[in-house]
Amino acid sequence: MENDGPPQELPALAAAPLSAPRQRHVVKNACQEAGRLLLFTSALDIRLATHMPLPFTSALDIRLATHKITAKQSTCTQTSALVASQENTLCCSTEETNTNDMSLNDKRLSVPRTRNDLLQYSQRFTFDLNTVNEHLRLSENNTVITNTGRVRHSYPDHPDRFYLFRQVLSSESVSDQRSYWEIEWSGEYVSISVSYKSICRKGGGECEFGQNDQSWSLFCSSSSYSFRHNKIETKLPVKPISRRVGVYVDHSAGTLSFYSVSGDTMILILTIQTTFTQPLYPGFGVIFLGSVKLI
């Protein structure tokens, strides 16, 4: 598996301009370094914009541009405007969800705040036989994939099949409105993704989820998460509370969220705010021996 490794932090450049039309990511690490705002560009340069306390009151209390300003948080103003200008915004927090009143910006984004809220957008998916890598075994009516190591399975030849990476797409596309689904996984390392159908299938590393501009991928281990898009990897401070992950997509709003789920307890892993230009398909990779089950 190709791994570009984690990005390296550069010296603080509080007022340095960002290079124009390149894709940008904003990562709010509210857990490890409260107040650090890191701006990632496609060239992997990182700019430490400023230090500020992040006013998260719950895991789903996402404020992208309208932070409440207090005397203690007055330095947020300039940074909030900067956040609003980015093409892709990532937010992460390890606080559990609660029923605090939503901020104005939460209402603007219409972010579901509880698992019951999310479940009303539940969508059922199955794995696409024509895309599954030959080292993955399909079972349970195409709702479970298992990495069988060196064992190959005799699937019909098809141009949509992933040739190198142990990956599969769903047969069904994500709703063009809102959609939510959950998976359970086993093994050492899996990827949970959304992808355009135009992702390459028979090339090299550029065909792996998260290693191109066609897919957004959460990589999961038993102890950590990381996020990849267009060859940029971001290590996330959120720790798993189970091996169940929920995925929420609001296609028209450009919102993608991942949650660690245990019973009715949910922890927001990250939210990305972007613009989706094609239909999205859930995608999954089982890197080593293990499995992914669609719930």
Tell me if 294 sits within 8 A of 210, measured CB to CB: no
**CA–CA separation, 101 vs 123, rounded Å?**
27
Q: Which residue has the higher pLDDT, 115 or 57?
A: 115
Q: Which residue has the higher pLDDT, 229 or 81?
A: 229
Cα separations (Å) of 72 from 55, 75, 89? 11, 8, 24
pLDDT digits (tens, 9 = 90+) for 204-254: 999 999 999 999 999 999 999 999 999 999 999 999 999 999 999 999 999
Instruction: Establish if 242 belongs to a structural domain.
Output: yes
Instruction: Establish if 15 belongs to a structural domain.
Output: no
Tokens of 92: 């992460």
**CA–CA separation, 218 vs 235, rounded Å?**
10
Instruction: Establish if 14 belongs to a structural domain.
Output: no
Q: Residue 112's pLDDT band (boundaries 50, 70, 90)?
A: confident
Q: Which residues pair with 218 in a beta bridge?
A: 192, 227
| Domain span at 107 | 24-294
The CATH code of the domain that includes 270 is: 2.60.120.920
The mean of the pLDDT values for the chain is 74
Instruction: Establish if 6 belongs to a structural domain.
Output: no
Instruction: Establish if 214 belongs to a structural domain.
Output: yes
Predicted pLDDT of residue 113: 82
Instruction: Establish if 100 belongs to a structural domain.
Output: yes
pLDDT digits (tens, 9 = 90+) for 164-192: 999 999 999 999 989 999 999 999 999 99
pLDDT digits (tens, 9 = 90+) for 121-146: 999 999 999 999 999 999 999 999 99
Predicted pLDDT of residue 110: 60
**CA–CA separation, 202 vs 206, rounded Å?**
9
Q: Which residue has the tokens 């550029």?
A: 206
Domain count, the chain: 1
Instruction: Establish if 13 belongs to a structural domain.
Output: no
Q: What is the pTM of this model?
A: 0.69
Kindly state the average pLDDT of the residues 56-67: 30
Residue 94 has pLDDT above 50, yes or no: no
CA dihedral 236, 239, 242, 248 (to 10 degrees): -40
Kindly state the average pLDDT of the residues 51-62: 31
Residue 98 has pLDDT above 90, yes or no: no
Predicted pLDDT of residue 31: 34
Cα separations (Å) of 18 from 9, 29, 154? 15, 20, 49
Predicted pLDDT of residue 35: 31
Predicted pLDDT of residue 80: 32
Instruction: Establish if 16 belongs to a structural domain.
Output: no
Q: Residue 46's pLDDT band (boundaries 50, 70, 90)?
A: very low
Share of the chain above pLDDT 90, in %: 60
Cα separations (Å) of 14 from 7, 39, 45? 19, 11, 14
